[in-house]
């Protein structure tokens, strides 16, 4: 019996004697099954390969990024907020080694894990068991939890307050329960928004964008983008971190609003003259 991991999205499944026949997360239009077909691995195989390690970087006071190298699965970054006796992991990784555990334990462990959307659930249950932490997932995405656990706590409504000036906000869009994390004490009190890819920082990091499916380039409708912008507008934040180590370094709240305006104008054909 082993816990099999989808090699494409990095999500782990419950123990079984054989690998699952399919990965529902990858077969859905917001992900993809590679041309060569579905592939599976295990965490034990990743560790035994000796190829992987996690790189931990201090991004600013109280905020650390954790990224697996070389890339595995989607290749997202998880973030650890450490402040005033409360530590939260935002989004999750498949790979977890003893060095990472030791570092996190040196910061006081993990008091909570919160997830933006199903593509980053990865090995959330094993992380939760390792650090004895609850996992917060919006109830609207309950169907996408492939490995159930008593550690998972489904929250509902539009926001959930946690200690340390941290609030989860459901924005929807990319997934119905898609959430972002607002850390009002981040950036020396100017505020930080952690978005996964519910709000995506683009190559020009003064701007962001919004998509229903990133690998398949399916946009969100303009009314949904407007809805996201309106829900974010009351929040105070100077910086925005996405899931791929891209950062809007300043005036991020303004960047979200002007980016939403640009996106809506483009969808409505207001930029095109031909």
Beta strand 218-219 pairing with 239-241: unpaired
Strand residues in the chain grouped as ranges (E): 2-6, 12-16, 40-41, 53-60, 63-69, 77-83, 86-90, 112-114, 135-138, 152-155, 159-162, 166-170, 179-183, 192-194, 200-201, 208-209, 211-213, 218-219, 239-241, 247-248
Record the tokens describing residue 222, joined without a space.
């303009």
The per-type count for the chain, helices as H runs and strands as E runs, is 7, 20
- Each of the 274 residues of the chain gets a pLDDT tens digit; together they read 999 999 999 999 999 999 999 999 999 999 999 999 999 999 999 999 999 999 999 999 999 999 999 999 999 999 999 998 899 999 999 999 999 999 999 999 999 999 999 999 999 999 999 999 999 999 999 999 999 999 999 999 999 999 999 999 999 999 999 999 999 999 999 999 999 999 999 999 999 999 999 999 999 999 999 999 999 999 999 999 999 999 999 999 999 999 999 999 999 988 765 5
Record the tokens describing residue 188, joined without a space.
């020396």
HEC sequence for 156-217: CCCEEEECCCEEEEECCCCCCCCEEEEECCHHHHCCEEECCCCCEECCCCCCEECEEECCCC
**Cβ neighbourhood burial of 121 (10 Å; 0-12, 13-18, 19+):** buried
């Amino acid at each position: 019996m082993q816990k099999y991991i989808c090699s494409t999205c990095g999500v782990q499944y419950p123990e079984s004697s054989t690998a699952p026949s399919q990965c529902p997360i990858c077969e859905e239009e917001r992900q993809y099954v590679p041309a060569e077909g579905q592939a599976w691995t295990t965490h034990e195989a990743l560790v035994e390969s000796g190829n992987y390690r996690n790189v931990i970087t201090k991004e600013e006071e109280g905020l650390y990024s954790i990224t697996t190298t070389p890339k595995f699965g989607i290749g997202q970054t998880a973030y650890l907020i450490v402040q005033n006796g409360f530590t939260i992991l935002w989004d999750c990784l498949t790979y977890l080694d003893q060095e990472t555990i030791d570092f996190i334990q040196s910061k006081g462990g993990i008091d909570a894990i919160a997830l933006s959307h199903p593509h980053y659930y990865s090995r959330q249950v094993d992380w939760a068991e390792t650090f004895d932490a609850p996992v917060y997932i919006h109830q609207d995405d309950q169907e996408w939890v492939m490995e159930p656990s008593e550690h998972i706590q489904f929250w509902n409504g539009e926001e959930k307050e946690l200690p340390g000036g941290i609030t989860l906000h459901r924005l929807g869009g990319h997934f119905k329960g898609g959430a972002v994390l607002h850390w009002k004490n981040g950036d020396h009190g100017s505020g930080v928004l952690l978005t996964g890819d519910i709000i995506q920082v683009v190559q020009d990091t003064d701007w962001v964008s919004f998509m229903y499916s990133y690998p398949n380039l399916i946009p969100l409708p303009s009314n949904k983008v407007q809805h996201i912008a309106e829900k974010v507008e009351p929040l105070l934040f100077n910086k925005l971190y996405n899931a791929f180590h891209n950062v809007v370094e300043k005036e991020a709240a303004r960047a979200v609003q002007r980016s939403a305006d640009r996106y809506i104008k483009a969808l409505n054909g207001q930029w095109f003259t031909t």
